[in-house]
């Protein structure tokens, strides 16, 4: 009887030991993300393969819908119930929000071992760090301030390249309009209005003004004459879009440029994916050119924030995942699929297209000139409630007959109200 | 033996006596917690400093003050008045008219009734999407008229900030008026035929019979219809999301879409909760007097 008990107990102990050591041997990471379609889904699958090839166990938690809103709701409840996923697709100041709550894990030892400080651009490092500690890892750099143009339509009014100043932009658009061509393809959704708005702020005000107005929310900058000029330019652009623009999705606007229904679109480089998917060649079938600015570059960086997890296997998995994400191999595969450029400098761009190469070259130039800035419209510069307040005013102005003076007044009020 | 069977029958009797209470108890407890509990919780959130995560720090009326200072909230409230008002009035009118017409013992009544009632079977998302296509100037009605040769035809409400909210009214009326018709039709059928025949004998004209006898006698249905329509209007969310997305800009925002934006997109849980409480207050202002009159009426009859 006793013997049998002992054997049983030993057996149980052994099997417990075995499971424990087995679990320890397999680093596990649960990844919460909303990349569920098209190139994005493929990009995540690439990460999963890489992770599994390194002996990790990947637990996929995709939450589609609402451009991440649904995922954020899930995240909130998971964190509140003390069961956070290891890695969460999270970007910009939202990372700081979660870090303030003490929910994020410290990645400094991986960062040191891998030398992240040397390869990640400083402006992006500051987004990934909370009080000097790495809490998140960047996966890519999207550039927001692009003009995508149809060379055939530009040729009809004698232009061979996209405009280099906003005056040129207006002159070209007027010519196109006179020739019966819709100058600007645009979708009237608040975030698209804001995308155009911030490129105009960068162009007319310059990088320093952009920093003051849309990053530091300096009141003098917000109510300056430059800001009024920005709203004047927005009103002009409103005249260059077709009548059916409200509510149109960005990819339909891109298709208009592709199909020759409109000449130019101001949009981030995810638009490039649409052109490439249709078999178009950059430089020949479409032109990618930065929106007019003095060495400005607005970045939109996707990243994964690492949440506090318990259990050796999970901590291990998290570190392995972080290491792989910043690794050269993943940065190359992922960004080829997603249409952006690596968030790690120095990755060979041989396999990338000309627009991506231009993006990297401009990035380096912008960094030297102090024009490498976070995008406001894409949640990189400001916390949600602040950028939301600005976007409200921008879209209200763009979609009504509001004067620039009134828009500036409302902008200051809205920011003031959102701040407290 | 005898004693045990009597306690058994006592137990059975008491179970039978309380059976209905026992059966509803779980759902009662669930709704007490999940509905009323969360209403209280939201009420508290509206007085807290909550932003991204719920916190318990007291902020007094600050969230309500911020809410009422927001231009966008004023737009949402104004839209609710326009939308709710027109939606209720037009639905009542159309529903009543259709019911009266159908009540004329016409042929194929069953088919017509089904046709009018069917939109109610669709979800608001479907209604919104279909009407978005119909009303889009480059795609739907306007472009069709242009193709047919009527080039001066213009119907761009969907993309016009001042008119977008009216397209929501159109789609909502299309969806709900058949339902109102069904309510009225049932009520009309319940009116005592003898009174109508008597009035007819006395030489009253048909319109006079409707306005003088039938419609006054179905007054309670008006009240029910208004309550149903009013709460549909206040909680309208998916229709706006599908049809206009709140746009152009935020010109067709309703309180429900405003609440969603603040609470789930902008990390402004406090303001979101405050706006939810304002919506609750609006619904209460409609439902409570109705329930009060209903319950009092019930007592009188009993």
Whether the bond between B93 and the residue before it is cis, its omega within 30 degrees of 0, is no
> CB distance from B148 to chain A under 8 Å?
no
**What number is the ipTM of this complex?**
0.73
B136 and A383 within 8 Å at the Cβ level: the answer is: no
Is the model's pLDDT at B302 over the cut of 80? Answer: no
> CB distance from A420 to chain B under 8 Å?
yes
- Tell me the pLDDT of chain A averaged across its residues: 88
Are the C-beta atoms of B178 and B152 separated by less than 8 Å?
no
Alpha carbon separation from B158 to A89, A410, B149, B248 (Å, rounded): 35, 25, 22, 8
Instruction: Supply the CATH classification number for the domain B72-301.
Output: 1.10.3720.10
Exposure string for A129-141, b = 16+ CB within 10 A, e = fewer: bbeeebbbbbbbb
Q: Tokens 């979660």 map to which residue? A: A98
Is the model's pLDDT at A305 over the cut of 90? Answer: yes
Which residues on chain B are in Cβ contact (under 8 Å) with A69? 264-265
Q: Rounded to whole angstroms, how far apart are CA atoms A273 and A262?
A: 18
Is the model's pLDDT at B4 over the cut of 70? Answer: no
How do strand A182-184 and strand A87-89 relate by DSSP bridges? unpaired
Kindly state the average pLDDT of the residues B95-120.
Answer: 86
> CB distance from B245 to chain A under 8 Å?
yes
Query: CA of A244 to nearest chain B CA: how many angstroms apart?
Result: 6
A245 and B265 within 8 Å at the Cβ level: the answer is: no
Are the C-beta atoms of B244 and B162 separated by less than 8 Å?
no
Of A79, A97, A399, the CB nearest to B249: A399
The alpha-helical segments, DSSP class H, found in chain B are 2-31, 38-45, 62-69, 71-102, 109-117, 124-135, 141-147, 164-190, 193-201, 206-209, 215-217, 219-235, 238-243, 255-260, 269-301
Q: Rounded to whole angstroms, how far apart are CA atoms B185 and B217?
A: 13
Give per-residue pLDDT as tens, A81-105: 888 899 999 988 889 989 988 889 9
Percentage of residues in chain B having pLDDT higher than 70: 96
For residue A288, list its beta bridge partners.
Answer: A148
Which residues on chain A are in Cβ contact (under 8 Å) with B248? 188, 246-247, 395, 399
- For A208, the token pair is 């320093």
Q: Rounded to whole angstroms, how far apart are CA atoms B126 and B120?
A: 11
Are the C-beta atoms of A95 and A303 separated by less than 8 Å?
yes
Cα dihedral A376, A380, A382, A386, rounded to 10, equals 60
> CB distance from A414 to chain B under 8 Å?
yes
B70 and A399 within 8 Å at the Cβ level: the answer is: no
For residue A241, list its beta bridge partners.
Answer: A184
Of A72, A242, A246, the CB nearest to B248: A246
Element of type H or E holding A234: helix A225-240
Is the model's pLDDT at B300 over the cut of 70? Answer: no
What's B298's DSSP letter?
Answer: H
- For A70, the token pair is 């649904």
Q: Closest chain B residue to A95 measured between Cα atoms?
A: B52
Which residues on chain A are in Cβ contact (under 8 Å) with B52? 76, 97-98, 101
What domains does chain A contain, in order, with CATH numbers? 28-141+301-356 (3.40.190.10), 143-299+373-419 (3.40.190.10)
Of A76, A98, A395, the CB nearest to B249: A395
From A213, A371, A180, select the one nearest A292 (Cα to Cα). A371
Euclidean distance between the first and the last CA atom of chain B, given in angstroms as a whole number = 46
- Of A167-181, A342-356, B72-86, the poorest mean pLDDT is in A342-356
What's A410's DSSP letter?
Answer: H
Q: Rounded to whole angstroms, how far apart are CA atoms B251 and A118?
A: 47
Euclidean distance between the first and the last CA atom of chain A, given in angstroms as a whole number = 72
A399 and B248 within 8 Å at the Cβ level: the answer is: yes
Give per-residue pLDDT as tens, B164-222: 899 999 999 999 999 999 999 888 888 888 888 888 888 888 888 888 888 888 888 88
pLDDT at position B5 = 63
Which of A233 and B212 is assigned the larger pLDDT?
A233
Q: Rounded to whole angstroms, how far apart are CA atoms A207 and A204?
A: 9
Query: CA of B125 to nearest chain A CA: how many angstroms apart?
Result: 15
From A299, A303, A304, A234, select the one nearest A269 (Cα to Cα). A299
pLDDT at position A292 = 94
* Domain assignments of chain B as residue spans, ordered by start: 72-301
Is the model's pLDDT at A267 over the cut of 50? Answer: yes
Of B71, B244, B268, the CB nearest to A385: B268
- For A143, the token pair is 């550039």
A76 and B137 within 8 Å at the Cβ level: the answer is: no
A188 and B248 within 8 Å at the Cβ level: the answer is: yes
pLDDT tier for residue B21 given thresholds of 50, 70 and 90:
confident
Q: Tokens 């290891």 map to which residue? A: A86
Which residues on chain A are in Cβ contact (under 8 Å) with B249? 188, 190, 193, 395-396, 398-400
pLDDT tier for residue A25 given thresholds of 50, 70 and 90:
low
Of B66, B72, B159, the CB nearest to A244: B159
Q: At what angle do helices B269-301 and B71-102 cross, to 10 degrees?
A: 30
Is the model's pLDDT at B298 over the cut of 80? Answer: no
């Amino acid at each position: 009887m006793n013997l049998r008990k002992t054997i049983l107990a030993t057996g149980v102990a052994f099997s417990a030991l075995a499971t424990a050591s087995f679990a320890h041997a397999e680093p596990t990471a649960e990844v919460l993300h909303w990349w569920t379609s098209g190139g994005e889904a493929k990009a995540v699958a690439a990460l999963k393969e890489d992770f599994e090839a390194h002996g990790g166990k990947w637990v996929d938690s995709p939450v589609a819908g609402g451009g991440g809103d649904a995922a954020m709701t899930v995240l909130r409840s998971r964190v509140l119930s003390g069961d956070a996923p290891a890695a969460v697709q999270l970007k910009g100041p939202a990372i700081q929000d979660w870090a303030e709550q003490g929910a994020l894990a410290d990645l400094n030892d991986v960062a040191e071992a891998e030398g992240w400080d040397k390869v990640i651009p400083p402006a992006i490092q500051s987004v990934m760090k909370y009080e000097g500690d790495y809490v998140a890892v960047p996966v890519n750099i999207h550039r927001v301030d692009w003009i995508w143009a149809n060379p055939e339509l530009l040729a009809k009014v004698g232009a061979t390249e996209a405009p280099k100043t906003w005056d040129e932009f207006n002159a070209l658009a007027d010519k196109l309009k006179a020739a019966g061509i819709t100058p600007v393809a645009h979708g009237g959704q608040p975030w698209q209005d804001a995308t155009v708005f911030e490129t105009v702020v960068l162009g007319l005000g310059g990088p320093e003004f952009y920093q003051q107005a849309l990053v530091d929310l300096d009141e003098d900058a917000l109510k300056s004459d430059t800001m009024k000029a920005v709203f004047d330019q927005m009103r002009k652009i409103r005249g260059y879009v077709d009548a059916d623009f409200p509510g149109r999705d960005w990819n339909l606007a891109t298709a208009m440029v592709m199909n020759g229904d409109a000449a130019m679109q101001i949009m981030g480089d995810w638009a490039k994916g649409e052109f490439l998917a249709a078999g178009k060649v950059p430089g020949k079938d479409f032109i990618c050119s930065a929106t007019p600015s003095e060495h400005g570059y607005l970045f939109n960086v996707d990243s994964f924030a690492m949440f506090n997890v318990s259990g050796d296997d999970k901590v291990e998995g998290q570190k392995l995942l972080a290491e792989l994400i910043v690794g050269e191999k993943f940065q190359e595969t992922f960004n080829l699929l997603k249409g952006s450029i690596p968030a790690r400098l120095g990755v060979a761009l041989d396999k990338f297209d000309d627009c991506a190469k231009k993006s990297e070259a401009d990035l380096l130039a912008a960094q030297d000139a102090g024009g490498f800035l976070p995008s406001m419209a894409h949640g990189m510069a400001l916390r949600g409630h602040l950028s939301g307040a600005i976007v409200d005013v921008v879209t209200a102005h763009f979609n009504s007959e509001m004067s620039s003076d009134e828009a500036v007044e409302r902008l200051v009020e809205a920011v003031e109200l959102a701040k407290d | 033996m005898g004693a045990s069977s009597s306690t058994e029958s006592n137990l059975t009797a008491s179970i039978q006596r309380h059976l209905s209470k026992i059966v509803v108890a779980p759902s009662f407890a669930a709704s007490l917690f999940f509905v009323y509990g969360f209403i209280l919780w939201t009420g508290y959130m509206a007085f807290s400093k909550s932003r991204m995560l719920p916190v318990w720090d007291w902020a007094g009326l600050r969230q309500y003050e911020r809410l009422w200072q927001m231009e966008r909230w004023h737009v949402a409230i104004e839209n609710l008045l326009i939308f709710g008002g027109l939606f209720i009035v037009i639905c009542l009118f159309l529903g009543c008219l259709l019911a009266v017409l159908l009540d004329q013992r016409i042929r194929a009544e069953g088919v017509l009734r089904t046709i009018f009632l069917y939109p109610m079977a669709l979800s608001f998302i479907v209604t919104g999407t279909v009407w978005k296509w119909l009303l889009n100037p480059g795609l739907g009605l306007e472009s069709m008229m242009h193709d047919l040769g009527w080039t001066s035809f213009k119907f761009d409400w969907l993309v016009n900030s001042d008119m977008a909210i009216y397209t929501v009214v159109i789609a909502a009326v299309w969806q709900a008026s058949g339902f109102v018709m069904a309510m009225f039709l049932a009520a009309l059928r319940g009116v005592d035929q003898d009174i109508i025949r008597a009035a007819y004998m006395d030489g009253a004209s048909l319109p006079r019979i409707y306005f003088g006898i039938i419609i006054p006698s179905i007054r309670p249905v008006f009240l029910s219809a208004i309550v149903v329509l009013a709460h549909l209007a206040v909680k309208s969310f998916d229709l706006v999301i599908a049809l206009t997305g709140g746009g152009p800009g935020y010109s067709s925002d309703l309180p429900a879409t405003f609440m969603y934006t603040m609470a789930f997109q902008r990390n402004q849980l406090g303001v979101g909760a405050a706006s939810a409480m304002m919506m609750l207050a609006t619904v209460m202002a409609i439902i409570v007097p109705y329930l009060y009159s209903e319950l009092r009426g019930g007592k009188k009859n009993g």
